[in-house]
Structure 1
Amino acid sequence: MTTTDIRPDDFFKLACASWISQALGIVAKLSIADLLTEGAKSIEELAQATESHIPSLYRVLRCLTTVGVFNEVKPRHFALTPLAEYLQSDNPYSLKYLAMTNIDQWRWHVFGDMFHTVKTGEPAIKSVYSVNNYWQYLEKNSESNLLFSQSMFSIAQNCQIQLLKSYDFSKVSKIIDIAGGQGLIISAILKHNPHLQGILFDMPETVVDAVKLLKAEGVAARCEIVGGDMFQSIPCGGDIYLLSYIMIDWDDRSICNLLENIRYSMPENSKVLVIDTVIPVSNDYHWSKWEDLFALCMGDGVVRTQTEFQTIFQKAGFELVKTFSPEKPLSLMELVRV
C-alpha cells in the first residue's frame, strides 16, 4: 500500500456521509434552527420544544457541529452557525426543505437500489416503484410532491434567480418561461425588470393555480398563463425562451425535440436561455457530478458537459454563444439560432 497524506478518517467521512444527510434532515424537520434565532439554548430546552428524546437529540446536534452546522458554545448548549442559518424557515434563502426531502423515505429506497442501475442501466426508481421517472412517482404521492416542490423553490431562490438577476434584459420585451411550474422564476424576472411582459408555459394541470403566486408577487397583469405540452408545441412571439433546470430530467432525443419546437416558434432574432448543471472537465469537486447520481437513479435524465450540451444545441439548430457562472452549481447558457 502506498503511503499518502490521506488518513483513514478522510475515507470514513465519505463512506458514512449518509448519516450526516439523515441528521441534517432530522433537525430540519424539528425546526431546531428556528428555535435558536434569539441565541443559544440548552439541549433540554430544544428537546422540550420539539418533544424529542434529550440524549438522542444531543448526539445528533453534537455530530452536526463537526461539519459546521451548529456550534456547541458550552457543554450541552447549541447556537447557530452560518451553515445552520440555511435551515431557518424565515431565511429567504432557506434550504430547509432540501434537507427534508433528502431524507424522504422514497428517495432512500431508490438510492438504495443504485447498484441495480449500475449493473443493468435501468433507473432504480423503475425497479423500486415501477414508474419511469420521479415525476410519475410524485404525481401519485402528494406529500412527497409538496416537499420536493418546496425544495425546488429553495434551490431556485439560491441559484436560478440569482443567475437571472445578473442577465441584461434591457433590450427584451417578452420572455417565455417553458415548464415554469407555478411561476416563481418568471415572477422574479418580471419584478426585477418592470418593462418586461411574460408568458408562463407548462402542463395545464401544473399552471392551473399559478395565478395565485403571480398576483401575490404583483406581476399577474404582465404575465399570461398558457397550458400545453412543450414536446408538442411552444408559444410564439418571445424575445427570450427560458429553460430553467429542465434538461437534466430528459434524454438527448427529448431535448432535441424540445429545442426544435422552440426554434420553429421563435422569431428570428430571439434567444434561448438555458439554466442547468454543467459538468466541468476536471477531477475537482463540483456539485454537478454529485447531482448526476440523482439523474442516474431517477429516470432518463443526465447531467451533461458543455461539449455534450453543444452537440445537442447544434443538432437542434442552435449555437451556444456565452456561458455565465460555470463555476457555480448551475450555469446560464445563451443560445441563438444558426
Structure 2
Amino acid sequence: MSSGSPTSPTSPTSPTNVPPAFRLNQMIMSLWVPQVVHAAAELGVADVLADGPLPSGDVAARLGTHPDATERLLRALVTLELLVARGERFELTEMGRFLETSSPLSKRAWSRLMGGPGVWQAWGRLTDCVRTGRMAALSAGDAAASSGTEHFDELGRDPAAAAVFHQAMVELTRGVAPGIVGAIDLRGARRVIDVGGGYGALLCAVLEAHPDVEGAVFDLEHARRGALELFASRGVAARASFVAGSCFDTAPPAADVYLLKSVIHDWDDARSLQILGKCREAMAGGARLLVVEPPAPTARGNATLEWVLTFSDINMLVNTGGRERTEAEYRALLDAAGLRVDAVRETPSFFRVFEAART
C-alpha cells in the first residue's frame, strides 16, 4: 500500500534525486510498514474511528489496548497517511477508510492475512526457498507439508485463519469481478461452477449479471459457511449452492461453464495439470473452462504490473509453491491438459480470461 508520498518506503519507485544509500535503507526498513498496517487491521483501529475522530486514550479504551503504545501506533499511521492528527484527535483519511470492515473496498482482511504469522513467517524463509526452489514449509522440513498435506487443507483446522483468508480473497476479487464478468461470454450457459472459489465472490457477480443462470462454488468444506452467508447477503441464495470437494481428487459437478480464478498460479505445473485434468473430466458437450489470471509481462513498460506480478511470483514461491506465468505458459499448460484455448479476453484490470474447450 502506497502512502502517496514519492519517497515512501512502500512505493515501488523513488525519485532519482534521493541518494541511493538512503533509498536502499528505506527498502530495508520497509518491513516495518506492513506490520504497522497489520496491527491497525488486526486491532480494528479503523472501525473504532469510523464514526469520527477520537483522542488516542479513547481509541485505546475501546480497543482494550495499552494507552501509550496505542498512541505511538496511531502516530505511525499518521506517517503512512492512513490517519491525520487534528490536535489530540486522530481521524481516518480516505485511504485509512479502506481498513474499515464495512467498507465496500475494504482491505482489512487482506492486511490481516499478509501481515499475519503464516505469511509473515513464510517470507522469513525466502532465502531457503531460493536455495531449494521449494515453498517455505517444504524448505523448512514441515512435517505436514512433507507428508503431502495441502496448505489449504490446514485452514480446515483453524477456522479463524480460514475466515481471514477467504475474506481476503473476497476483498481482492470484489473490485475486479465486474470487469471479469463483463469480459466473459455466457451465451447459452445455464449453470456455472466456480472451482476453488472460496466464498464465491466471482460467482455472485456472475449471478447478479445473469438472472437466468444458476451456479455453485466447488471448494473445501471450510469455505461453506462463508459462501452461504455471502450468497444470502448478495441476494443470490436461491440460485447458488456450495459443493465440498478437492479439485485434485474429484471432478467438479456438471456445468456449462467452469471458472478458475486465481487458482492455477497457486500451484506448480504438475499440480496445475491435476486441477485442469479434473475440470476436463467434468466437461461434457460444449462445456467451457475459463481460467482467469493476470499473465506475467514479457516486456518492460508497465511498471505497476511488473511490480505486482514480480512480487506476487515470489509470494507464490514462498507460500504455495506456485508461480506467475506468461500468456504463452498458460496456453502451454492448457494444451498439456488436453484443452484448446479458443480465446483470450482482456478485462479492465490486469486479469485475462483464457477460454478453453476439450480437444
Unaligned runs of 5+ in 2: 1-15
Percent identity at matched positions?
A: 24
**CA distance in 1: counterparts of 2:120 and 2:26, whole angstroms:** 19
Which residue in the other structure is 1:41 paired with? Answer: 54
Alignment RMSD (CA, Å): 2.8
Unaligned runs of 5+ in 1: none
2:96 pairs with 1:59: no
Give the CA deviation at 1:300: 2.4
Partner SS state of residue 177, structure 1? strand
Which residue in the other structure is 1:83 paired with? Answer: 95
Which residue in the other structure is 1:256 paired with? Answer: 273
Which residue in the other structure is 1:285 paired with? Answer: 304
2:215 pairs with 1:198: yes
- Does the 8 Å contact 2:173/2:202 carry over to 1? yes
For residues 89-137 of structure 1, give each alpha carbon's deviation from its aligned partner in whole angstroms, at most 9, with x where no partner exists. 1112211111112222233222111111111223212316433253244
What is the aligned counterpart of 1:119 among 118, 124, 131? 131
**CA distance in 2: counterparts of 1:106 and 1:130, whole angstroms:** 15
For 1:85, give the aligned amino acid: R
- Does the 8 Å contact 2:340/2:358 carry over to 1? yes
2:151 pairs with 1:130: no
Give the CA deviation at 1:23: 0.5
User: In terms of mean alpha carbon deviation, does 293-302 or 35-44 score higher?
Assistant: 35-44
Give the CA deviation at 1:319: 1.3
Aligned residues: 333
Which residue in the other structure is 1:265 paired with? Answer: 282
Which residue in the other structure is 2:192 paired with? Answer: 175
**CA distance in 2: counterparts of 1:40 and 1:166, whole angstroms:** 42
- Does the 8 Å contact 1:160/1:275 carry over to 2? no
2:34 pairs with 1:12: no
- Does the 8 Å contact 1:236/1:266 carry over to 2? no
Partner SS state of residue 313, structure 1? helix
What is the aligned counterpart of 2:263 among 229, 243, 246? 246
Give the CA deviation at 1:196: 0.6
- Does the 8 Å contact 2:195/2:252 carry over to 1? no
Q: 1:50 to 1:162 in 2, by over 3 A?
A: farther
For 2:97, give the aligned amino acid: E
Which residue in the other structure is 2:44 paired with? Answer: 31
**CA distance in 2: counterparts of 1:48 and 1:264, whole angstroms:** 57
Q: 1:137 to 1:265 in 2, by over 3 A?
A: closer
Which residue in the other structure is 1:231 paired with? Answer: 248
Which residue in the other structure is 1:322 paired with? Answer: 344
Q: 1:39 to 1:271 in 2, by over 3 A?
A: same
For 2:304, give the aligned amino acid: Y
**CA distance in 1: counterparts of 2:284 and 2:333, whole angstroms:** 21
Which residue in the other structure is 1:305 paired with? Answer: 326
| TM-score, with structure 2 as normaliser | 0.81
For residues 268-294 of structure 1, give each alpha carbon's deviation from its aligned partner in whole angstroms, at most 9, with x where no partner exists. 433221222422234523322212222
For 1:334, give the aligned amino acid: E
Partner SS state of residue 275, structure 2? helix
Give the CA deviation at 1:24: 0.4
- Does the 8 Å contact 1:113/1:128 carry over to 2? no
- Does the 8 Å contact 2:123/2:136 carry over to 1? yes
Partner SS state of residue 198, structure 2? coil
1:160-171 paired onto structure 2 within 5 Å = 160=177, 162-165=179-182, 167-171=184-188
Q: 1:66 to 1:336 in 2, by over 3 A?
A: farther
- Does the 8 Å contact 2:296/2:327 carry over to 1? yes
| TM-score, with structure 1 as normaliser | 0.85
What is the aligned counterpart of 1:70 among 70, 83, 102? 83
Q: 1:19 to 1:128 in 2, by over 3 A?
A: farther
User: In terms of mean alpha carbon deviation, does 187-196 or 260-269 score higher?
Assistant: 260-269
2:168 pairs with 1:151: yes
